């Protein structure tokens, strides 16, 4: 069970993802979380830096869908002005929102990347379907809701177990 919480890649932010390399490896679609992955949980719009990232994603030939557990109003206000398709109230980590996003992109699991800030929703959900999972650090933990805060505590317990099993290595910061 705990192995499914381990992402294929860990980076600080979406900007640290080697998109060109992943495209060369055959990935063509990105399913990304919204809150604390792309912007802080209370940030209503994309930052200028994120707009440049979206342009790069598109320029490289990736398709992109936002999959969020948040409500229609929150996700639509962010995604619609950017002309990005989305799945709201996704109930991650269930399979259905990931399958729906892949259907929107017309891609299979072997072509799809999942990017998110939570092991229990984004990574676990993506790993169960065989997607390439990328875990980013949360942008603004102080703005998270109660459900996410509970998930973070469970993640800490899981991390302790993963470290003991040798499945989670701390990165060398030197």
> Over the range 48-58, which residues count as b (16 or more CB within 10 Å of their CB) and which as e?
eebeebbeebe
Closest CA to 135 of 9, 2, 23, 18: 9
Q: What is residue 143's predicted lDDT score, i.e. its pLDDT?
A: 67
Q: What is residue 142's predicted lDDT score, i.e. its pLDDT?
A: 66
Reduce the DSSP state of residue 95 to 3 states and report it.
Answer: helix
Q: What is residue 42's predicted lDDT score, i.e. its pLDDT?
A: 85
Q: What is residue 4's predicted lDDT score, i.e. its pLDDT?
A: 83
Sheet holding 85-87, edge to edge: 9-11, 132-136, 112-116, 29-32, 63-67, 85-87
Residue 121 CA neighbour count, 13 Å, CB half: 27
* Beta-strand runs (E) in the chain: 9-11, 29-32, 63-67, 85-87, 112-116, 132-136
Q: What is residue 174's predicted lDDT score, i.e. its pLDDT?
A: 41
Give the predicted TM-score (pTM) of the model. 0.86
Q: What is residue 131's predicted lDDT score, i.e. its pLDDT?
A: 98
Q: In whole angstroms, what is the distance from residue 25 CA to residue 35 CA? A: 27
Closest CA to 41 of 128, 134, 151: 151
Between strands 63-67 and 85-87, the pairing is parallel
Reduce the DSSP state of residue 131 to 3 states and report it.
Answer: coil
> Along the 174 residues of the chain, how does pLDDT read in single tens digits?
677 888 999 999 999 999 999 999 999 999 999 999 999 988 999 999 999 999 999 999 999 999 999 999 999 999 999 999 999 999 999 999 999 999 999 999 999 999 999 998 999 999 999 999 999 999 876 666 677 777 777 677 677 777 777 777 776 444
Q: What is residue 155's predicted lDDT score, i.e. its pLDDT?
A: 75
């Amino acid at each position: 069970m705990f192995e499914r919480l381990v992402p294929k890649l860990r980076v600080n932010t979406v900007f640290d993802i080697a998109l060109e390399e992943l495209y060369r490896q055959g990935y063509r679609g990105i399913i990304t979380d919204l809150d604390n992955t792309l912007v802080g949980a209370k940030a209503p719009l994309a930052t200028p830096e994120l707009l440049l990232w979206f342009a790069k994603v598109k320029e490289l030939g990736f398709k992109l869908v936002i999959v969020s557990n948040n409500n229609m109003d929150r996700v639509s206000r962010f995604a619609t002005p950017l002309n990005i398709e989305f799945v709201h109230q996704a109930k991650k980590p269930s399979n259905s929102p990931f399958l729906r996003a892949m259907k929107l992109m017309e891609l299979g699991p072997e072509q799809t990347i999942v990017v998110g800030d939570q092991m229990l929703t984004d990574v676990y959900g993506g790993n169960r379907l065989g997607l390439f999972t990328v875990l980013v650090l949360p942008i603004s933990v102080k703005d998270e809701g109660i459900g996410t805060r509970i998930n973070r505590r469970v993640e800490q317990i899981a991390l302790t177990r993963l470290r003991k099993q040798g499945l989670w290595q701390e990165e060398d910061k030197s």
